[in-house]
């Protein structure tokens, strides 16, 4: 809550909260259209090869079944044409697996046919009667084996400053390997698309996406139709964590079916399909070497990484990036390679590559601190930098030291044993650990429409989406502050590609990018109001715009507060029923480009390890964020809490299991893939520096979505080492990795 001139402008509750607690908020699959048909994917039961034939006759004979669409009867799709010369001019090639297009199987569980029926029950009942005859080919899904053969690897990018492998010459150094398995986003809402062709070249989609505009672009280019003829609606998104940053097979498949059957089609993925069709955090192997002089100054960092991708697309992320600039170090070299496997394509998952990379970097620094007999926080402070050592630009703002100070006190760092395994409480081995997270803080371009109507209410619109962080709330708060008026009179609308273009929600960039546009829109509206006031209202006659201010729903003279007029009266006097403006806020300006911008986090963990069976109980987490001004404190806190939960899953339980004999994912359900539950979550404190970053944008805010998770897993493994003396470098931590026998 914030008061300004004794006026409370906003409560800190989510503005869309009521709709979410009473079931009114509608997600993609929850729309219903007249004459809508239901579609369900049939998926491959081999990992690689081709399909010789698909017998659809039995499925087609089932009651209610309308069609079985597969490569032999799939209508042509402009974006499926590989040869650019043959492709219609306004079409672009679909990126990724062209679903229902050919008879090739590229991964286990790939959709090979789509059953469409007049009810979900009929479609679902028919899928098991679609019989495919496969011609299997040899395949490889085994990352751990395949990465050992250099022939399998694609070099992606190398980087060097100073001397390569310099860390080996240092007074003390460590060199360790780290493994992180495939993790799956598993948002609670299943991916879904409803496609409705309203004309031969005009389609409306209800889709689960983090970017209505990017989905609009993908669909218009894939089907070779004008952008304006594609409308994508995603008013509510039930979590996505990166998986909604691109369109997957469900989008073209629903469009194809709806077009072929000439009726709206709803296609909802199943939970098992959520494990293989909508991306995942790639498996990674990393080797990190780091060395320091006797005083703790870093001498060199070498970071090598391999992540998997599919055979049909390259997916890369910033796995080695933080090692280049989080700490002061003259000699840094990184090497990043991709390993194509017969799996579907990975995609960014919360914290993306930086989460994997910081696990290695922050674990290795902890390891080094024990070699140096130095406190790990002291070691980090020793190498603290306010200038990005990679591009030599100053950070626009960095207050990590404040995060350390807060965390040290709150977690009780002074109780941390300097000798691992030496502290016991209630029969448990107790350990303390901490780690740092860093992520880029961008500012892109976005357009916002602002409408002030003659009832004094303001409507703001932007084609961004809100997958849960509270964008709608944060933007409404921003407008409320900028306009100095009550939040109840402001509405922010998003989740529709018909709205002015906004970014996809991702990369922790929404608040900075869209927030800057909202701020600019409000300032532009205030300017316009002043102009109209001077022109139309006699009380302001002859005054200069700079002599006026807009607040408390009034236009007021700065020098004499008695000279004022309600904004609704200004509109009335000017004979205008509304002011309707659309503005565009661009990326960073020249002054802002003189800095490099990042958000930072420091996570502190206290945990207990049961010495009898190696099970871990996290006792307390303190998570701190340095991300500029916090626009919406309540939802920001929730986002940080969510990052902790995600990090606990990454550290302790999440791992996709593949049977390398068949290529099949064998734990594609919540029963097999273990995400954290209520009981696994310790009391967690959230703290923000909450200081506007003066150099990133006008609002001083940076993103927190990624830093909430980045570093958390290392904080946990560091605490486990502190508790037990066992260093776990392969996630997730299991009792076996701590030397205990499995009970299974």
Partner 1 sequence: MKPCFQQDGRRSFLKKSTALVALYLTPSVFVKAFAVDTIVPMPIPKEKLIITINGKKLNLEIDARTTLLNLLREELAFTGTKKGCEMGQCGACTIHINGKRTKSCMQLALTHQNNKITTIEGLSEGEKLHPMQAAFIKHDAFQCGYCTSGQIMSAVTCVREGNAKSRASIQAYMDTNICRCGAYQNIVDAIAEVAKTGVKI
- State which of positions 26-65 bind partner 1 (CB under 8 A): 26-27, 29-30, 32, 58, 61-64
Q: In whole angstroms, what is the distance from residue 270 CA to residue 348 CA?
A: 21
Q: What per-residue string of b and e applies to 273-286 under the rule 16 or more CB within 10 Å gives b?
A: bbbbbbbbbbbbbb
CA dist 488 → 463, 476, 482, 674 (Å): 21, 9, 14, 41
Nearer to partner 1, 102 or 118 (CB): 118
Q: In whole angstroms, what is the distance from residue 648 CA to residue 328 CA?
A: 29
Which one, of 624, 603, 631, lies nearest residue 702 by Cα? 631
Distance of CA 384 to the CA centre of its chain: 27
**Residue 451 sits in the site that holds partner 1 (CB under 8 A):** no
Q: Write down how long the chain is.
A: 744
Q: Residues 54, 215, 666, 681: which binds partner 1 (CB under 8 A)?
A: 681
Shortest CB 266 distance to partner 1, Å: 9
- CB atoms under 10 Å from CB of 386, counted, come to 12
Which one, of 226, 192, 222, lies nearest residue 99 by Cα? 222
Nearer to partner 1, 576 or 638 (CB): 638
Local structure of 211: helix, strand or coil: coil
Nearer to partner 1, 482 or 652 (CB): 652
Residues 352, 706 contacting (CB under 8 angstroms): yes
Distance of CA 1 to the CA centre of its chain: 27
- CB atoms under 10 Å from CB of 420, counted, come to 17
Q: Total number of residues binding partner 1 (CB under 8 A)? A: 90
Local structure of 598: helix, strand or coil: strand
Q: In whole angstroms, what is the distance from residue 708 CA to residue 626 CA?
A: 10
Q: What are the structure tokens assigned to 420, written together? A: 């691992």
Q: In whole angstroms, what is the distance from residue 680 CA to residue 743 CA?
A: 20
Q: In whole angstroms, what is the distance from residue 172 CA to residue 368 CA?
A: 7
Restricting to residues 601-660, name those near partner 1 by CB under 8 A.
Answer: 610, 614-617, 634-635, 637-639, 641-646, 652-653, 655, 657
Q: Residues 211, 470, 495, 628: which binds partner 1 (CB under 8 A)?
A: 470
Do β-strands 658-659 and 578-585 pair in parallel, antiparallel, or remain unpaired? unpaired
- Residue 290 neighbours by CB under 8 Å, 6+ apart: 167, 173, 174, 175, 298, 300, 301, 302, 361, 364, 365, 368
Shortest CB 460 distance to partner 1, Å: 21
Q: Residues 78, 291, 676, 711: which binds partner 1 (CB under 8 A)?
A: 676
Stretch that binds partner 1, among 230-238, 302-310, 326-334, 521-529 (CB under 8 A): 230-238
Nearer to partner 1, 384 or 670 (CB): 670
Q: Residues 214, 236, 504, 601: which binds partner 1 (CB under 8 A)?
A: 236
Q: Residues 136, 162, 224, 239: which binds partner 1 (CB under 8 A)?
A: 239
Shortest CB 124 distance to partner 1, Å: 8
Nearer to partner 1, 233 or 452 (CB): 233
Shortest CB 494 distance to partner 1, Å: 14
Nearer to partner 1, 139 or 241 (CB): 241
Shortest CB 22 distance to partner 1, Å: 5
Nearer to partner 1, 525 or 668 (CB): 668
Restricting to residues 368-397, name those near partner 1 by CB under 8 A.
Answer: none
Nearer to partner 1, 182 or 288 (CB): 182
Shortest CB 120 distance to partner 1, Å: 6
Shortest CB 586 distance to partner 1, Å: 30
Shortest CB 20 distance to partner 1, Å: 3
Residues 356, 284 contacting (CB under 8 angstroms): yes
**Residue 188 sits in the site that holds partner 1 (CB under 8 A):** yes
What is the end-to-end Cα distance of the chain in Å, rounded? 51
Local structure of 337: helix, strand or coil: strand
Nearer to partner 1, 459 or 681 (CB): 681
Quickly tell me which residue has 């409803």 as its tokens.
Answer: 194
Q: In whole angstroms, what is the distance from residue 541 CA to residue 521 CA?
A: 25
Q: What per-residue string of b and e applies to 330-357 under the rule 16 or more CB within 10 Å gives b?
A: ebbbbbbbbbbbbbbbbbbbbbbbbbbb
**Residue 739 sits in the site that holds partner 1 (CB under 8 A):** no
Shortest CB 12 distance to partner 1, Å: 8
Restricting to residues 276-315, name those near partner 1 by CB under 8 A.
Answer: none
Q: Residues 67, 183, 189, 706: which binds partner 1 (CB under 8 A)?
A: 189
Q: In whole angstroms, what is the distance from residue 501 CA to residue 528 CA?
A: 22
Q: Residues 92, 563, 581, 675: which binds partner 1 (CB under 8 A)?
A: 675
Restricting to residues 61-100, name those near partner 1 by CB under 8 A.
Answer: 61-64
Restricting to residues 8-27, name those near partner 1 by CB under 8 A.
Answer: 13-14, 16-27
Shortest CB 697 distance to partner 1, Å: 24
Q: Residues 43, 44, 141, 186: which binds partner 1 (CB under 8 A)?
A: 186
Q: Residues 49, 109, 238, 500: which binds partner 1 (CB under 8 A)?
A: 238
Shortest CB 277 distance to partner 1, Å: 15
Quickly tell me which residue has 């010495």 as its tokens.
Answer: 611
- CB atoms under 10 Å from CB of 483, counted, come to 26
Element of type H or E holding 120: helix 120-126
Q: In whole angstroms, what is the distance from residue 159 CA to residue 314 CA?
A: 19
Nearer to partner 1, 198 or 657 (CB): 657
Shortest CB 350 distance to partner 1, Å: 10
Which one, of 547, 578, 580, lies nearest residue 564 by Cα? 547
Shortest CB 134 distance to partner 1, Å: 16
Shortest CB 681 distance to partner 1, Å: 4
Shortest CB 447 distance to partner 1, Å: 25
Q: Residues 237, 446, 537, 570: which binds partner 1 (CB under 8 A)?
A: 237
Q: Residues 144, 531, 560, 736: which binds partner 1 (CB under 8 A)?
A: 736
Restricting to residues 112-151, name those near partner 1 by CB under 8 A.
Answer: 119-122, 125, 128-129, 131
């Amino acid at each position: 809550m914030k008061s300004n001139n004794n006026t409370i402008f906003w409560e800190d509750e989510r503005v869309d909260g009521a709709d979410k607690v009473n079931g009114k908020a509608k997600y993609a699959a929850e729309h219903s259209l007249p004459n809508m048909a239901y579609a369900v994917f049939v998926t491959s039961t081999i990992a690689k090869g081709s399909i010789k034939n698909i017998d659809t006759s039995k499925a087609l004979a089932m009651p209610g079944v309308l069609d079985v669409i597969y490569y032999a009867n799939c209508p042509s799709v402009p974006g499926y044409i590989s040869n650019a010369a043959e492709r219609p001019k306004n079409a672009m090639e679909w990126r990724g697996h062209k679903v229902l297009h050919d008879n090739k199987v590229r991964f286990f569980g790939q959709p090979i046919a789509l059953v469409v029926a007049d009810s979900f029950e009929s479609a679902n009942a028919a899928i098991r009667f679609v019989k495919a005859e496969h011609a299997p080919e040899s395949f490889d899904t085994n990352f751990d084996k395949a990465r050992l053969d250099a022939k399998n690897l694609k070099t992606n990018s190398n980087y060097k400053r100073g001397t390569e492998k310099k860390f080996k010459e240092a007074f003390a150094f460590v060199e360790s390997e780290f493994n992180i398995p495939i993790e799956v986003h598993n948002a609670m809402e299943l991916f879904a698309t409803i496609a409705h062709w309203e004309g031969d070249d005009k389609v409306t989609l209800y889709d689960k996406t983090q970017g209505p505009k990017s989905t609009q672009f993908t669909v218009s280019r894939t089907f070779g139709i004008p952008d304006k003829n594609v409308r994508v609606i995603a008013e509510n998104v039930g979590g996505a964590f990166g998986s909604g940053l691109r369109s997957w097979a469900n989008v073209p498949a629903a469009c194809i079916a709806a077009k072929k059957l000439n009726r709206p089609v709803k296609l909802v993925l199943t939970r098992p399909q959520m494990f293989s069709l909508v991306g995942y955090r790639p498996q990674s192997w990393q080797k990190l070497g780091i060395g320091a002089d006797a005083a703790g100054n870093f001498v060199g960092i070498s970071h090598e990484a391999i992540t998997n991708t599919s055979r049909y697309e390259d997916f890369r992320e910033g796995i080695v990036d933080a090692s280049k600039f989080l700490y002061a170090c003259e000699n840094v070299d990184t090497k990043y390679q991709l390993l194509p496997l017969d799996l579907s394509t990975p995609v960014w998952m919360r914290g993306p590559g930086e989460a994997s990379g910081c696990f290695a970097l922050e674990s290795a620094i902890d390891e080094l601190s024990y070699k140096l007999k130095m406190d790990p926080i002291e070691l980090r402070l020793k190498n603290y930098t306010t200038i990005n050592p990679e591009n030599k630009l100053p950070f626009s703002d960095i207050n990590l030291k404040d995060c350390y100070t807060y965390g040290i006190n709150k977690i009780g760092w002074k109780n941390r044993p300097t000798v691992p395994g030496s502290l016991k409480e209630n029969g448990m081995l107790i350990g303390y650990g901490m780690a740092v997270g860093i992520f880029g803080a961008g500012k892109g371009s976005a357009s916002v429409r602002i409408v002030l109507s003659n009832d004094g209410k303001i409507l703001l619109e932007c084609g961004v989406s809100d997958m849960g962080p509270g964008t709608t709330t944060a933007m409404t708060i921003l407008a409320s502050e900028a306009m100095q008026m009550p939040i109840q009179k402001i509405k922010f609308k998003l989740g529709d590609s018909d709205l002015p273009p906004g970014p996809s929600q991702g990369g922790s960039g929404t608040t900075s990018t869209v927030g800057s546009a909202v701020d600019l829109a409000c300032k532009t509206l205030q300017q316009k109001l002043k102009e109209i006031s001077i022109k139309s209202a006699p009380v302001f006659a002859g005054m200069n715009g700079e002599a006026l201010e807009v607040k408390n729903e009034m236009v007021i003279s700065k020098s004499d507060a008695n000279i004022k007029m309600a904004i609704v009266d200004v509109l009335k006097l000017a004979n205008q029923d509304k002011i309707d403006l659309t503005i565009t806020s661009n990326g960073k300006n020249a002054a802002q480009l003189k800095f490099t911008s990042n958000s930072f986090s420091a996570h502190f963990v206290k945990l207990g390890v049961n010495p009898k069976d190696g099970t871990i109980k996290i006792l307390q987490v303190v998570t701190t964020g340095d991300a500029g001004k916090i626009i919406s404190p309540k939802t920001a806190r929730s986002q940080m809490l969510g990052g902790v939960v995600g990090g606990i899953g990454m550290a302790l339980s999440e791992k996709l299991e593949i049977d390398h004999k068949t290529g099949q994912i064998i734990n594609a359900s919540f029963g097999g893939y273990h995400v954290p539950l209520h009981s696994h979550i310790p009391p967690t404190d959230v703290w923000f520096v909450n200081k506007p970053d003066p150099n990133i944008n006008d609002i001083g805010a940076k993103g927190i979505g990624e830093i909430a998770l980045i570093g958390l897993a290392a904080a946990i493994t560091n605490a486990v080492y502190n508790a037990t003396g066992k260093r776990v470098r392969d996630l997730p931590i299991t009792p076996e990795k701590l030397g205990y026998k499995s009970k299974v």
